[in-house]
Chain A
Amino acid sequence: MKIAVCVKRVPDTETKVRIGQDGKHIDEAGVQWVLNPYDEIALEQALKIKEAQGAGEVVVVSLGPPATTEPVIRKALAMGADRAVYLKEIMADRDMFSTAKVLAEALKSENPDIIFFGRQAVDDDSCEIGPMVAQILGLPCVTDVNKFKLEDRKVTVHKEIESGEEVIEVNLPACFTCQKGLVEPRLPTLKGIMAAKKKPLTEKSVAATEPLLTILKMEYPPVRPPGRKIGEGKEAAFTLVEVLHTEVKII
């Protein structure tokens, strides 16, 4: 079974984001780039399937600018992916649909049985790429998967919704976007890191296009008034009740 996993490099979630000089993008100085946390979950699920079957191939596919993307691909290989397709990005503001088209194009020639995505990339927080790629390829896609069971060519998944979970059945080939809680991603081992250096990485250049969504401006959220301490210990609970009643008027 061939499994593809789409991965993206994103700023570490610890990053204190600063707006860059152009006023439209973040200042990348000092940013530590990591493998998107949801994509790690997607990759872990792919590796688990391959290990359970004792055969197959896990291919990671990533679109992103040079320098910061390659280390993240190497990490995915170190975790256990067999090889990688690197789609070298040259434009800054590729829109979601265009990104999905580029990924779909690369995935089409791979013709995988399963394509995994993270439910969202923690930079643009769009949650769009998985379903869009699936649509372009004419495959079904289940989003926000937190349980995954494969039997022959039939997959049963749990999808997180507001008031609970949906249990959905789908036959392969199919796409899935992975939610936290599905599996716990492994850390790369030293052996894995060494092996990753020799694993095949195919590089392809991607042409620029005119974006369909244009960023006009990036801004900070409104600043909250500075915090105020109203007291210490359980006596302060009395003060708080008073305040919630008179100032916040919530009770």
Chain B
Amino acid sequence: MAKDVLIFAEQREGKFRHASFEAVSEGKRCAQKVGTNAIALVVGKDISESAKELGKYGADRIIAADSEIFASYNSESYARAVVNAVKVIAPQILILTASSMGRDLAPNVGAKLEVPVASDCIKLDIIDGKLQALRPVYAGKVRIRVAFAKEPNIVTLRPKLFEATEVAGHNVQVEKLQPAIEPQDLKATLKEVVKSVGAKLDLTEADIIVSGGRGMKAAENFKVIEELAQVVGGVVGASRAAVDAGWRPHHDQVGQTGKTVSPTLYIACGISGAIQHLAGMSSSKCIVAINRDPDAPIFQVADYGIVGDLFEVVPTLAQELKKAISR
């Protein structure tokens, strides 16, 4: 029998990220192609019960490292737990999410196992029983297909691109894995978690994004697109110009040196479409652009473009969408 596929299913405070389900389902698809099992690993505190949920997304086995020491994420403790699971399972493939936690954890695990990580993959293929991964580089301006020379083949998956598929009638028992760490082994300590105001969804997880650029002219003008975002249930993003001007915090920035996003709908307001911005959002399913300059490069990628003053168009759009939604 071929070696298994191990999936690290990320949770915070007992709640799984949707990307974890996507990872488990993709792990199952790989396992089926290789002819082996998908084994989900959960690391946390009091998570043995909620871990059962992963069976729904295709996990054949579920392993839980459930301990006080894993109550909050720590690079070292979690990396040791994953390495411990790798030693027990000896998987061919190890899958994590390309989230904040996954992108911190994967290289820590990789270094302990002396293998590199294929980060932020957008597609996995099994060819002759071996893994190949497709990943964007240069902020998505091009992609590379990579093959792995050493096991485990470690990958992180970009959220929102892989399907989380529910399987029927799955009842998987949760197996325990001993924590392989003591508190004195940890050098970095989490003091507190500061939630962002409104605790909104992260841009990388949003279905709808309304972004503003240089055309917004001032920080206070962002209320126009905040209103639109609220009407459609979206999240506000910004171009680098808007962030560099100090109108929005950096974590709102979309594009190279910011976030790469793939929402269902991306509405760009007053964004000219610099190459760095296009790299970060052109994998959106539908792009709408509103800009005064008919020659702005953003119109080359926009499925629907409106030439006009955003301060006239956006409020009208918000108002009309509100009416349409309430109908």
Q: Is A30 an interface residue (CB 8 A)?
A: no
Mask of A156-174 contacts with B, CB within 8 angstroms, 1/0: 1010111111111111001
Mask of A134-146 contacts with B, CB within 8 angstroms, 1/0: 1110011111101
**Which residues of chain B from 150 to 193 have a CB within 8 Å of any chain A CB?**
150, 187-193
B239 to chain A, nearest CB (A): 13
Cβ-defined contact, A128 with B106, below 8 A: yes
Residues of chain A touching chain B, judged by Cβ–Cβ distance below 8 Å, are 11, 13-17, 19, 24, 26, 37-38, 95-98, 100, 122-132, 134-136, 139-144, 146, 156, 158, 160-171, 174, 179-181, 210-221, 224-234, 236-238, 240-241, 243-245, 248, 250-251
A132-B111, A224-B301 known; 20 other A-B pairs, CB under 8 Å? A122-B139, A122-B257, A126-B119, A129-B107, A131-B104, A132-B110, A135-B107, A143-B75, A158-B194, A162-B202, A170-B188, A213-B116, A216-B147, A217-B144, A226-B300, A228-B304, A230-B305, A240-B317, A250-B208, A250-B264
- Which residue of A13, A17, A168, A228 has the most chain B CB atoms within 10 A of its CB atom? A13
- State A131–B111 Cα separation when bound (angstroms): 8
Residues of chain A with a CB closer than 8 A to B99's CB: 162
B201 to chain A, nearest CB (A): 8
A148 to chain B, nearest CB (A): 14
**Which residues of chain B from 256 to 285 have a CB within 8 Å of any chain A CB?**
256-258, 264-265, 274-276, 282-283
Known: A132-B110, A233-B309, A245-B324. A95 touches B116 (CB 8 A): yes
Q: Is B14 an interface residue (CB 8 A)?
A: no
Q: Which residue in B117, B276, B283, B287 is a CB contact (below 8 Å) of A128?
A: B117
Which 6 pairs between the two chains have the least Cβ-Cβ distance?
A135-B111, A181-B250, A140-B187, A128-B107, A162-B202, A96-B116
What are 28 A-B pairs at a CB distance below 8 A? A13-B139, A16-B141, A24-B144, A97-B115, A100-B111, A125-B120, A126-B117, A140-B76, A163-B202, A164-B194, A169-B191, A171-B187, A180-B243, A215-B145, A219-B144, A221-B282, A228-B302, A228-B303, A229-B305, A230-B305, A234-B313, A236-B306, A237-B306, A237-B320, A238-B316, A238-B320, A241-B320, A251-B324
Cβ-defined contact, B312 with A234, below 8 A: yes
Cβ-defined contact, B100 with A248, below 8 A: no
B80 to chain A, nearest CB (A): 11
Cβ-defined contact, B195 with A164, below 8 A: yes
**Which residues of chain B from 99 to 139 have a CB within 8 Å of any chain A CB?**
99-101, 103-104, 106-108, 110-112, 114-120, 132, 136-139
A236 to chain B, nearest CB (A): 4
Q: Which residue in B107, B108, B138, B300 is a CB contact (below 8 Å) of A227?
A: B300
Residues of chain A with a CB closer than 8 A to B35's CB: none
Q: Is B226 an interface residue (CB 8 A)?
A: no
- State A14–B196 Cα separation when bound (angstroms): 31
- Which residue of A129, A238, A245, A248 has the most chain B CB atoms within 10 A of its CB atom? A248
B15 to chain A, nearest CB (A): 11
Cβ-defined contact, B104 with A167, below 8 A: no
Q: Is B245 an interface residue (CB 8 A)?
A: no
Residues of chain B with a CB closer than 8 A to A123's CB: 137-138
Mask of B310-322 contacts with A, CB within 8 angstroms, 1/0: 0011001100110
Cβ-defined contact, B144 with A218, below 8 A: yes
